[in-house]
Amino acid sequence: MANIIVRNYEHFNRALPNWDSPKGKYISSKAQYEKELAKNGFIKFEDAENIKSNPHKPYNGISTKAMEVCTAAKSMADKKGNLKIGTQLQKGMESVGVSFDMSRLPKHYQDVGGFDNAV
């Protein structure tokens, strides 16, 4: 025998901000509920349960070679996070697309100084 689930979206939600009654935020329909969730940066309970059950998603943003270069650079840093880049690491970073062009940096990172030469 199948269970029939009836969802009644008419309720007072105390988790949402900007209450319009002493009991909480009044929700009258599913569309209003989803709109309020999106407006306040929340997600639905079912989506949160899916995220909780599958916490690790594979990261497909960069290649495995680029990830290896990043982990190598991270492991070479000292306890303060300062990194002394050697020639092998620099070549590896350039091969995955890191640019060492100093002219593209903001002025406060360039060697010329932070002041304009305009009079």
Give the pLDDT confidence score for residue 66 in this predicted structure. Answer: 86
Domain boundaries, the chain: 11-53, 64-109
Q: What span, in angstroms and rounded, lies between the C-alpha atoms of 84 and 111?
A: 18
Highest average pLDDT, of 25-39, 48-62, 99-113, comes from 25-39
- Can you tell me the mean pLDDT for 86-101? 84
Positive or negative CA dihedral for 30, 31, 32, 33? Answer: positive
Q: What span, in angstroms and rounded, lies between the C-alpha atoms of 119 and 15?
A: 58
- Percentage of the chain surpassing pLDDT 90? 0
CA 14 to chain centre: 27
The tens digit of pLDDT for each residue in 53-66 reads 877 766 677 888 88
Place of tokens 């620099």: 90
DSSP character string of 33-89: HHHHHHHHT---HHHHHHHHHS--PPP-SS-HHHHHHHHHHHHH--TT------HHH
Give the pLDDT confidence score for residue 5 in this predicted structure. Answer: 53
